[in-house]
Amino acid sequence: MRLNPFNTGDINVRSSSGGGVGKAGGLGCGTIIIAALGYFVFGLDPFQTAATVESVQQGTQASGPANTNEQEICTSSQYAREACDGLTSLNRTWARVFEEQGLGDRFQQPTLDLYSGAVRTACGSGNSSMGPFYCPGDQTIYIDTSFYDQLARMAGNSGDFARYYVLAHEYGHHIQTITGISGQIRSQQQRVSRGQANQLSVRMELQADCYAGVWAGKNRNLIEPGDIEEGMEAAAAIGDDRLTQGRVSAENFTHGTSAQRSQALRTGLRGDDKACDEYTIVR
Ligand SMILES: [Zn+2]
């Protein structure tokens, strides 16, 4: 996508640097990829209770004070620059959607933490092996940009749109938080069986994919040839069925199959956020 350059006045960005799990723990690539699968399969992003996150966080070190120099963070690497460009565009696009629906006062920007290694969050501590995640407690999207190299391996040679899609998906969880959808679903999950709770997780994830599509659909003029295919490949590469290669039964899926994820992105691309409502209407 040809996004406009970021504007530090339009974004909240910080960078926490932690103990560097990769370095300190001496984890090899294989370990990190397996951990990333765990993250995708078991859904460590939207519904995290502190307890669950803590349980996978043994051995990470506390993070130091965050760097809040946005200009410095956003220009520190190509991935960081893209993330800041993407966040600027997401903020503008979603602020407009809320305003158009007379909900302008409910819109709040999320914070983006481009951390490295390990990070303390309101949802417990996180680390780079978890992949990108959103914490509702502090309304922050956490991305260790080293994930993008993993994504490129998982999705083939992925380009910028695949990375924007990941950011826009996490932003979708922020939308679910400020509209109250995620709170409603979470309380529903406490009243149903494990399998049903997982299905609700899948719906939330597909809706976040759909919201990612809405953002792209509303910025169609910036889309370049091949972008959509890149997004579809990324969506397919991180489907539960593909990641688990059939080892996990469908009722334990928490993010949806490759086909479902691609379809959700496609639904959103029509540019109407209302079309994403269907994912969380429970019949
Ligand atoms: Zn998600």
Q: Is residue 7 part of a domain?
A: no
Best CA proximity match to 272, nearest among 205, 206, 213, 224: 213
Q: Is residue 97 part of a domain?
A: yes
Amino acid at 37: L
CA geometry: angle 76, 78, 84, nearest 5 deg: 75
Query: Is beta strand 118-121 parallel, antiparallel or unpaired with respect to 111-113?
Result: unpaired
**Cα 258 to ligand 1 centroid, rounded to whole Å:** 14
Q: What predicted TM-score, i.e. pTM, was given to this entire model?
A: 0.83
Evaluate whether 52 touches 121 at the Cβ level (below 8 Å): no
**Cα 87 to ligand 1 centroid, rounded to whole Å:** 16
**Cα 102 to ligand 1 centroid, rounded to whole Å:** 27
Q: What is the pLDDT of residues 112-170, one digit of tens each?
A: 999 988 888 998 888 877 778 899 999 999 999 888 888 788 777 668 898 999 899 99
What is the total count of domains within the chain?
1
Paired with 15 in beta bridges are 67
Domain containing 150 equals: 13-279
Q: What is the pLDDT of residues 16-38, one digit of tens each?
A: 986 444 333 333 343 344 444 44
**Cα 133 to ligand 1 centroid, rounded to whole Å:** 7
Q: Is residue 234 part of a domain?
A: yes
Amino acid at 21: V
Q: Is residue 210 part of a domain?
A: yes
**Cα 45 to ligand 1 centroid, rounded to whole Å:** 5
**Cα 108 to ligand 1 centroid, rounded to whole Å:** 19
